[in-house]
Amino acid sequence: MKSLLLFPLSLWVVSAGTRAAIPSTIGEPCSRGHRGILFRVTDHTDFSQGCHVTAVLKKDCLQLFRGNRETARIALDAIETPVHIVPYHNTCLSIKPASMDAEILCCDNESCRDAWWMALSEQILCLHKGAMRNEVSGEPTVEEEERQVLEQVVEKPSEGGVTIHIEKNPEGVEPVLTMHPSFKQSDVHPH
């Protein structure tokens, strides 16, 4: 009888978890949330000791629920980064809040673990930076490009501009002011 009741409930939970994991705003990574059922490990030496929890990732915290009771709330700004993937158990994450012991949360498979790892990492970055950006491998980051521009300006001052020449005249006569544009092509921004 128990197994008959658990099957429809687990089917409902899986389908509800699948719908909840799809972000409502696909184009805005910082406004996404993530939900799912994870296994919370209570004994770090034995990964079979623990319980299933409902995990809800919000903008500023990760909440763990057992039924309708909140069992843990971890502030994202308190999590020490990076979020670690447990090396000896390929479906688990280790989340280390600054003033607490590490929380080990396990998924059913590696793709679930990867989705949680990405969601947590993105949300922590969004919280600290205010925006999430995608960078293409092999291309310089925004900071590297800014540093290159600053180094070029310091190393090679611009040679273009305006020349101003002021000649002194005898007393009583106003000085002569001559301005000449100087057009020299720059290496930094070729025309």
pLDDT of residue 113: 94
| Gap between the Cα atoms of 124 and 120, Å rounded | 6
Tell me what the mean pLDDT of segment 8-31 comes to.
45
**CA dist 78 to 83, 93, 123, Å?**
12, 16, 13
- What integer pLDDT is reported at residue 81 of this predicted model? 84
Determine the longest span between alpha carbons in the chain, in angstroms.
Answer: 113
- Any idea which fold 12-129 has? PH-domain like (2.30.29)
Q: How far is CA 82 from the centre of its chain?
A: 10
E strands present in 17-159: 34-43, 46-57, 61-66, 69-75, 79-85, 92-97, 103-106
Which carries the bigger pLDDT value, residue 188 or residue 167? 167
Model confidence at 21, in pLDDT bands (50, 70, 90)?
very low
Contact criterion met (CB below 8 Å) for 29 and 37: no
Q: Please give the DSSP secondary-structure letter assigned to residue 87.
A: T
CA distance 139 to 133: 13
How many Cβ atoms sit within 10 Å of the Cβ of residue 57? 20
Q: 56 and 33 in contact (C-beta within 8 Å)? A: yes
For the chain, the average pLDDT equals 74
Distances (CA, A) of 139 to 135, 136, 143, 145: 8, 6, 12, 10
Tokens of 49: 């000791």
Domain limits, the chain: 12-129
pLDDT category of residue 1 using cuts at 50, 70 and 90: very low
Q: For the chain, state the CA radius of gyration.
A: 30
Q: How do residues 134-144 score in pLDDT, each as one tens digit? A: 566 677 777 77
